[in-house]
Structure formats: C-alpha cells, structure tokens
Structure 1
Amino acid sequence: MTDHRLNTSTELRGVAALVERANATLRMIATPALTQLALRCGLAVPFWRSGVNKWDGFLQLNDVAVLLFSSEFKLHLPGGPYDFPAPGIVAFASGSAEILLPIFLVLGLATRLAAFGLLVMTLVIQLTVPDGWPLHITWAAMALGIMAWGPGRIALDHWIGADKG
C-alpha cells in the first residue's frame, strides 16, 4: 500500500511539473503587450468595418447611413422606442467615430480615450439593438479591459510616454 501512495504522489508531482512547463510556455507566447494589442485590434475591427460602410468618399456620408438613423434605428428607452435626434448629425458623428477611434486603438494613440469612446458607442448600439447584447457585452468587456490595463508596450502611447499606467 505504501508503494501505491508513493507512486501516486510521484505521478502528481510529474503532472504538476508538466502543467507548470506548459504554463511558462504560454506566458511567453501570451505576453501582456501582445494581449493588449490583440484586444485593441479585436475591438477596432467591427467598428472600422461598420464605419467604412457609412462613407462614399472623403467626408461624404452615404444616403443609407442617414436613412438608417432617420427611419430604421430607434433608441429603446423606457416609454420608447424613440427616433434619433438630428439623424444626419448623428450618422456623421457615428461614421467619423467608427473610422477615427479604431485607428487610434490600433496605433495605440490616446488609447484609453478611444476605448472609452467605443464603450459609449457600444452602449448606444445596445440601446438601438437590444437583442445584440451577447456581442455588445464582448465589445464592452474589451473596451473596459483596454481602459483598465492601458495600451501595452506595443503602442504609440507607451513609446511617447503618454500612458504610464
């Protein structure tokens, strides 16, 4: 019986050592800097793609974008749904933010502020498309992670010393 306990204890130590080696390898691959870059890019892509679809040319918003904000999109607030106020202005602001904020995120410039802007947009999108919460909560979590942990070392903010946190 002593041999069985000794054998089990030795096997457990071997498994623990194997798990620790695997964890060390994964820590080398998934560095904080790479993780933060992946978060920034992952959050930037859906907003960028949406923003690109709103424009026909430089500062030329397409008709579909304005139409969506004037007739299709509604704010689902208590007592609502409500129309968006000034749909042309909201469409322009939304389209501009969906282009500029992802660029800032990918570059890592004014990163926390860009993530906050996309968090606010996510909240408005949630009010517009309430059934989309599974995706929206993911965007919100990514934005909050970027705001909490910063841009990381692979970012202009880090290189110019603009983000010490």
Structure 2
Amino acid sequence: MNPQPLADRITSTFERIPHSLIALLARFSIAAVFWKSGQTKIEGLAIDIVSGQFEFGVPRLASSTLYLFREEYRLPLIPAEVAAVLATFAEHLFPVLLLIGLATRFSALALLLMTLVIQLFVYPDAYPTHGVWATVLLYLMARGPGKISLDLWIARWLRPEGS
C-alpha cells in the first residue's frame, strides 16, 4: 500500500486553511500578548474583551512601572522614564492597530523590534517565547492582515476603478 495518496490528500486539506483565518488569529493572539502586558503598566484604564473587564478613565503609568524599567528591565541608552512611556504607549497602540488590521505590517514591525529589544536586553533566556512572537509578527509582515482588515478595505477604496 502506497501511503503517498493519503499524505497528499492530508497536505491538500491543510493547504486549504485560508490565510485570512490564520492572519486574524495571529493578529488577535499577538495583540493580546502585548495589550495585556501594556495593561499591567497603567492605571485608570482597563479593557479586556475576553474577561469582560472594562474600566474607562484617563490612563496613567502605574506606580510599579517606573520601578520595573529602572530595576528589572534596565535598558541601555535610554532613560527609564522615557522607555516606560514609549513601551507602554507602544503596547497599547500597535495591538489595537493589529486587531483592526490597520497599518498591519508596520505595527508588526514595531512589535518585532520591541520583541528583539526585550530578547536582547531584558529577558535573554526567554527565546522560546520570543521566537513564537517573532514568527507570528514576521508572518503578518510577510503575508499581511488578510481579508478581515481595514488595510484591505482601504486598499480597495483607494484602488482606481478598473484595476
């Protein structure tokens, strides 16, 4: 019995998994990782659509955030106060953009750069986790957000008639 036809059918079935489904899952999953991290760094605003936690207010750095950047993260070349604000802002902005599929490739690049900084300077032993993050972000950079995205809607709207 030749197992090749069965293997070919299985492979063919897997190849029919739509890119848009993979991209949507990738966008949601990696956005959640960074969003949840960003949420630990602020007070006054809490949004978790999965758990249903909503607290609307003016966000501000949590008291523990500066301590983390001064004592645990200790990034070179950038003051802890600046790094804390930039990282916290990035962990909120880019996940939202990814989630709605707006500036997806740019947002994925920004979070990939953040991942590299975390890997190189903060948690060098966390390469298995950061490797997964990098893979998801590289996939989104290479393949884009899929059909369920504002990027695609905007591209279609901007495309001249007849092209």
Alpha-carbon distance between aligned partners in 2 of 1:139 and 1:22, rounded to the nearest angstrom: 27
1:150 pairs with 2:144? yes
Task: Report deviation, 1:119.
Answer: 0.6
1:6-45 matches, within 5 Å, as 11-12=1-2, 15-28=3-16, 30-45=17-32
Task: Report deviation, 1:138.
Answer: 1.5
Alpha-carbon distance between aligned partners in 1 of 2:82 and 2:59, rounded to the nearest angstrom: 12
Instruction: Please name the residue that 1:74 is paired with.
Output: 74
Q: 135, 139, 147: which one pairs with 1:141?
A: 135
Alpha-carbon distance between aligned partners in 1 of 2:99 and 2:118, rounded to the nearest angstrom: 21
Match of 1:161, SS state, is helix
Instruction: Please name the residue that 2:51 is paired with.
Output: none
Which region of structure 1 is more displaced relative to structure 2, 50-59 or 108-117?
A: 50-59
Match of 2:141, SS state, is helix
Determine what percentage of the aligned residue pairs are the same residue. Answer: 38
Instruction: Please name the residue that 1:130 is paired with.
Output: 124
Alpha-carbon distance between aligned partners in 2 of 1:40 and 1:33, rounded to the nearest angstrom: 10
1:33-112 matches, within 5 Å, as 33-57=20-44, 58-75=58-75, 82=76, 85-112=78-105
Instruction: Map Cα deviations across residues 100-142 of structure 1 (whole Å, 9 max, x no partner).
Output: 1111111110000100110111011112111111111221121
Q: Flag the structure with larger Rg.
A: 1
Alpha-carbon distance between aligned partners in 2 of 1:38 and 1:16, rounded to the nearest angstrom: 31
Alpha-carbon distance between aligned partners in 2 of 1:67 and 1:143, rounded to the nearest angstrom: 29
Task: Report deviation, 1:62.
Answer: 0.4
Match of 1:154, SS state, is coil
Aligned residues: 144
Q: Which runs of 5+ in 2 are unaligned?
A: 45-57
TM-score, normalised to structure 1's length?
Answer: 0.78
Q: Which runs of 5+ in 1 are unaligned?
A: 1-10, 76-81
